[in-house]
């Protein structure tokens, strides 16, 4: 029987055994950081539904001002990870 691998991630300053901080600030940019961390070339990544200028419908109940601040950080993280990420953004 084949077993599945699970990689646990976190976003805190602490070190945790067998849990990795791959970077990122929101779920989306953290996923992009994870893909980079496991070696997926950035040109193979597509950014579906990434908006940095508005709070999207999938954000749930949130403080819009705080969410927009997080999206600014997401934009910064993605720029550091891949300066051409916007070219592969799918609306």
pLDDT at 4: 64
pLDDT tens digits, residue range 57-80? 777 777 888 888 888 989 999 999
Q: Name the helix (H) or strand (E) containing 32.
A: helix 27-37
- Domain that includes residue 31, residue range: 8-90
Short-list 40, 49, 20, CA closest to 81: 40
Say how far apart CA 31 and CA 25 lie, in whole Å: 10
The single-letter DSSP state of residue 54 is S
Evaluate if pTM is beyond 0.75: no
pLDDT at 9: 82
* Domain-embedded: residue 2: no
* Domain-embedded: residue 49: yes
* Domain-embedded: residue 72: yes
**Domains: count for the chain:** 1
* Domain-embedded: residue 1: no
Lowest mean pLDDT among 14-18, 42-46, 78-82, 86-90: 14-18
Mean pLDDT for 24-33 is 84
pLDDT at 1: 63
């Amino acid at each position: 029987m084949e077993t599945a691998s699970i990689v646990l991630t976190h976003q805190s300053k602490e070190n945790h055994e067998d849990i990795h901080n791959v970077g990122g600030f929101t779920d989306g940019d953290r996923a992009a950081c994870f893909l980079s961390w496991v070696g997926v070339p950035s040109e193979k990544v597509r950014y579906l539904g990434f908006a940095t200028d508005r709070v999207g419908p999938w954000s749930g109940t949130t403080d819009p001002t705080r969410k927009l601040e997080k999206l600014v950080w997401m934009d910064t993280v993605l720029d550091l990870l891949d300066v051409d990420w916007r070219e592969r953004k799918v609306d």
